[in-house]
Amino acid sequence: MSSDPIHDNFDSEEDDGDFDADANTSRDKPQEDGEPATNALDGEVDEEEEEEDEEDEEEEEEEDEDVPARKRRRKLNHFFDDEAEVDDDDEEVDEEEEEGFIADEELPELNDHHEYREEHRHRELDRQNEQRQAEDMEAIAEELSRRHGRSRRGRGADSGLVPRRLLLPSVQDPNIWGVKCKVGKEKEIIFNIWQRMEKNENTKHPLPIVSVFEREAMPGYIYVEAYKQSDVMEALEGVQMVYPRGTKILVPIKEMPDLLNVVKSAEIVPGTWVRFKRGKYQGDLAQVENVLSNGLEVRIRAVPRLDYGNNLDRARENGPPLAPGEKRKRNNFKSNTAVGRPPQRLFSEIEATKNHSKLLSKGTASNGGSKNFTYAGEEYEDGYLVKDVRLNLIITENVNPTLEEVTKFATTVDEGAESLDLNALAQSLKTSSSTYQVGDTVEVYDGEQQGIVGKAVSVHNGVVTMDVIEGDLKGKRVDVPFKGLRKRFREGDQVKVTGGKYRDESGTVVRIVEDKVTIVIGEGEDMNEVTVFSKDLREATEGGFATSSKYDLHDLVQLDQLTVGCVIKVDKASVRVLDQNGDARTVIPSQIVDKVTRRNAVATDRNGSEIRIGDTVKEIAGNTRSGVVLHIYRAFVFLHNREMNDNAGVFVCRASNLATIVAKGGRVQQSTGPDLSKMNPAMLRNGASGGNMMPPPARVGGRDKTIGQTVTVRMGEYKGLLGIIKDATDSTARVELHTKSKTITIDKMKLGFRDSITGAIKTYQEFVRPGGGRGDGGSSFSRTPGGATPSWSGGSRTPQIDYSGSRTPAWMAGGGNRTPAWMANAEGGRTPAYVSGGKTPAWGADGGRSVYSGNRTPAWNPSSRTPYIADSERSAWDAGSKTPARPSGLESWGQDSGNSSTTARTPGAYNAASPEFMAPPYGKEFSAPTPGGAMSAPTPSAPTPGPISAPTPAAWGADTAPTPGAIGGGYGRGGAYPNTPGAWGADDDQ
């Protein structure tokens, strides 16, 4: 392209404007063009030159003053031009004069030739001076025009300093037509048209259009600037891929500036997220580390995809000198595609050293030292690939990084969360997909409808249709684009975060600044303030703390084969659990094997009462915390106490350290009679052997046997009525009466069970207990619970227990050596064996008891056995070491003929023994208080016997006097007793 014609054009325009009437235009022009006119200037011209120079200077000064130069200049020029003309005239006059002088010369010749000569010489001198001066001026002018001429052209656009609003198109300007063309070929078309323009420019028929342009934002169109539509047709005739005969859109003057609207692309600043456009890393997220000074290249950080030569082909390529060329080529090609690329992994020095140690070199100290590597021509820092890429190789808009991707960049930085710049993320996410949902309260903060508030009724294509509830348009329905919208919240609103880093957290709004909302999340100590964008918030539904986590608060989860934990906090990506050992730890959901769901787990507390989920229990030792049972896992019970802050009020205990306070739903814990273990301090004190261990129809689980049985009511309101048990608990049954169509709830004890074969009526005990099946003894035993048991439990037992407690040491004294034997046995198994063993011989030994001989049954009957078992067991449980002592106690019994004396004596015996012997073994097994209690009781020997002696005999005497006696005898006799169960078994057989 040659510039000269354009210059002409350009200048001629200037001339048209400025020097139209000026005869000297042609002389001005060289100056305008910065080409100093140095040739053939006579004096007259010189003078003009001078003037012009001055003019020029002034002109330049004017221009320098940043005035909208054109008009001013025009005026000035006119002014100067006029002057110049005047000047010219003057000179012309001079010339005329000169001519006149010449003409006159003859006259002076005639008159005074000498005078004229003088005159002439003077003039000659003047002229020479002027010439010299002019030469200087010439030099100055040249200099000036060189300087200013250029700068003027450099300044180029006359509109350079004019604000854009003054440049808006007017009716005088050419029109713009939009013409359809082939999509994607717009640029090509522009170049083609330009070629035509150039070709025809200096012909008779230049292209009649002013300009033509295209925008990427408007594919399928080119825009032609011309004065007439026919010109457009003419210009585009024969241009390929343009369809000027189709509809041509005349762009309204108002909209013309929009066609050339330029929006500065989102500035790329360090921290921005970008994606690779192509190559091996295509689609991978990268973070801008630095922008190179020309703004066209950026240094980015990405997670490398390296296979460290583990790929066979490439290993070969690097190994032996060179594989065949084409092979290598293919590999190279392959290695740079997204297909089959290695997974994203941080750079590993070890891996790289394995195959490619020569390609690897450590970073110099200057750029950070040991963590930087150069491997196969690429740089790696902290495991990331660091690379300079050209801006057109990466995508900078609509990057929409996901949290997973972003975390890959965040995890390695020490501060973790710090490195996640919410702002940068928001920047990238700004254009992300719709976050408005129907029902959201939204506020318009930008645009014409600014200030109105409404409820979204539909969201479609980036436009929210909303019913206005506040502001001028109240009650109307308007459409507003996302751009000017934000969600509206009030302080105190319960909100849930729906996007971004804090996704799924919920909290309370505490502060709102523009579209940034500060909310408080978490509870208790974990309370935290975070700031998020309002677009990422939703109003939380009532109490809707729904999380995406599979696990809910207080769930019991399996952590590994041996460990379970109770969820104490659910976070978005992690779960905090308290495991069975009392350690709280944070795990991610994938570390959790599964949720443990066993709603009907049962454990036994230290008193032997069953503990079920929902019961309120209390720790016996330690902190004596109480709480509601959340979960039971084997021997561990997870409890919740809402008054505690640690671990969200959850703590874990062993079942054996717990005592029931309230059973859920008032469940009766003891199937028969009052809860002895509760009323009996000694039993509580002495531990787990609780009275309920032995006795009553301990249901081992499964369906209640009584259900479906035909029963008669033996006492109470419905006495005599017949019915069927429809449902049952431990102690009560729901009986559907045959007579009245009514179902009653009644104590099982009040029922008679009809044997389906014999038709005999049995008590509950008989029915449930296999032993109870023995016919004739039944009636006598039925008395037992009524008679004997109350007597035991009714206070008379207390002393006896004390007594037994006091006896304990004595047993110890008796022989610690037997203890191990007891302890070695399985706990459960021991008790009955022991008891039965102990008792059986007694009967066998007692001749007088022969009456009972048939009835080994009592051994079966729990209630009759109770006292003894309780005692003996207790000792056994409390400290196995105690057991052996029993013989000594029993000896004393044995020596005794009467009960009363027994009680009296026993304490005495024990008192002596207790202090020395008791202490050590107790210390081991129990916390201090328990033995202390036990110990203290025996010590005052005096009081104990008193109360005991009185009631005990009475009770015994009244009812089951023989039993103890017999037992006592048995024990006493019990040379056999020390012997282990085997011996008893023998006795039993008697």
Q: Which positions touch another protein (CB under 8 A)? A: 1, 3, 6, 9-10, 13, 64, 150-151, 153-161, 163-165, 167, 169, 173-174, 176, 186-188, 190-191, 193-195, 197-198, 201, 206-207, 209-216, 225, 256-257, 260-265, 293-296, 391-392
Give the whole-angstrom CA distance, residue 843 versus residue 182. Answer: 115
Give the whole-angstrom CA distance, residue 935 versus residue 810. Answer: 11
Give the whole-angstrom CA distance, residue 763 versus residue 711. Answer: 10
Tokens of 88: 């010219």
| Closest CB 291 distance from another protein, rounded Å | 9
Interacting residues of 99 by C-beta distance below 8 A, sequence separation 6+ = none
| Closest CB 178 distance from another protein, rounded Å | 13
Strand 285-291 versus strand 297-302 pairing type? antiparallel
Cβ atoms of 604 and 596 closer than 8 Å: no
Give the whole-angstrom CA distance, residue 912 versus residue 915. Answer: 7
- Residue closer to another protein by CB (options 295, 439) is 295
| Closest CB 13 distance from another protein, rounded Å | 5
- Residue closer to another protein by CB (options 163, 343) is 163
Question: Measured in whole angstroms, how far is the alpha carbon of residue 568 from the centre of its chain?
Answer: 16
| Closest CB 205 distance from another protein, rounded Å | 13
Give the whole-angstrom CA distance, residue 397 versus residue 886. Answer: 89
| Closest CB 274 distance from another protein, rounded Å | 14
- Residue closer to another protein by CB (options 240, 817) is 240
| Closest CB 399 distance from another protein, rounded Å | 17
Cα-based distances in Å from 779 to 758, 760, 783, 784:
16, 12, 7, 9
- Residue closer to another protein by CB (options 156, 622) is 156
| Closest CB 280 distance from another protein, rounded Å | 22
- Residue closer to another protein by CB (options 160, 325) is 160
Mark out the alpha helices in 537-693 (DSSP H runs). Answer: 676-679, 681-686
- Residue closer to another protein by CB (options 8, 583) is 8
- Residue closer to another protein by CB (options 167, 322) is 167
Cβ atoms of 708 and 727 closer than 8 Å: no
- Residue closer to another protein by CB (options 175, 580) is 175
Tokens of 253: 């003057």
| Closest CB 175 distance from another protein, rounded Å | 9
- Residue closer to another protein by CB (options 213, 545) is 213
- Residue closer to another protein by CB (options 156, 828) is 156
| Closest CB 241 distance from another protein, rounded Å | 11
Q: CA quadruple 24, 29, 34, 39: dihedral positive or negative?
A: negative
| Closest CB 329 distance from another protein, rounded Å | 23
- Residue closer to another protein by CB (options 231, 615) is 231
| Closest CB 438 distance from another protein, rounded Å | 35
Cβ atoms of 619 and 602 closer than 8 Å: no
DSSP string, 83-133: HHHHHHHHHHHHHHHHHHHHHHHHHHHHS-HHHHHHHHHHHHHHHHHHHHH
Beta strand extents in 620-740 (DSSP E only): 626-633, 636-640, 650-654, 658-662, 710-713, 722-728, 732-737
- Residue closer to another protein by CB (options 215, 754) is 215
Identify the burial level of 21 via C-beta atoms within 10 angstroms of its C-beta, where 0-12 means exposed, 13-18 middle and 19 or more buried: exposed
Give the whole-angstrom CA distance, residue 956 versus residue 637. Answer: 41
Which residue type is seen at 439?
Answer: G
Cα-based distances in Å from 948 to 31, 208, 525, 962, 974:
139, 131, 56, 18, 24
| Closest CB 533 distance from another protein, rounded Å | 23
| Closest CB 296 distance from another protein, rounded Å | 5
- Residue closer to another protein by CB (options 222, 676) is 222
Task: List 385's β-bridge partners, or say none.
Answer: 302, 380
DSSP string, 411-471: TTSTTGGGGS-HHHHHHHHTT-S----TT-EEEE-SSTTTT-EEEEEEEETTEEEEEEEES
- Residue closer to another protein by CB (options 44, 58) is 58
Task: List 180's β-bridge partners, or say none.
Answer: 221
| Closest CB 264 distance from another protein, rounded Å | 4
Give the whole-angstrom CA distance, residue 165 versus residue 569. Answer: 60
| Closest CB 176 distance from another protein, rounded Å | 7
Cβ atoms of 689 and 871 closer than 8 Å: no
- Residue closer to another protein by CB (options 257, 943) is 257
- Residue closer to another protein by CB (options 65, 717) is 65
Tokens of 763: 């008590």
Query: Collapsing DSSP states into helix, strand and coil, what is residue 643?
Result: coil
| Closest CB 75 distance from another protein, rounded Å | 20
Q: What is the DSSP letter of 242?
A: B
Give the whole-angstrom CA distance, residue 753 versus residue 766. Answer: 9
Buried b (16+ CB within 10 A) or exposed e, 160-198: eeeeeeeeebeeeeebbbbbbbeeebbeebbebbeebee
Please give the helix or strand (H or E) that residue 388 lies within, else none. Answer: strand 384-390
- Residue closer to another protein by CB (options 226, 459) is 226
| Closest CB 219 distance from another protein, rounded Å | 12
Give the CA-trace dihedral at 592, 593, 595, 598, to 10 degrees.
-140
- Residue closer to another protein by CB (options 74, 654) is 74
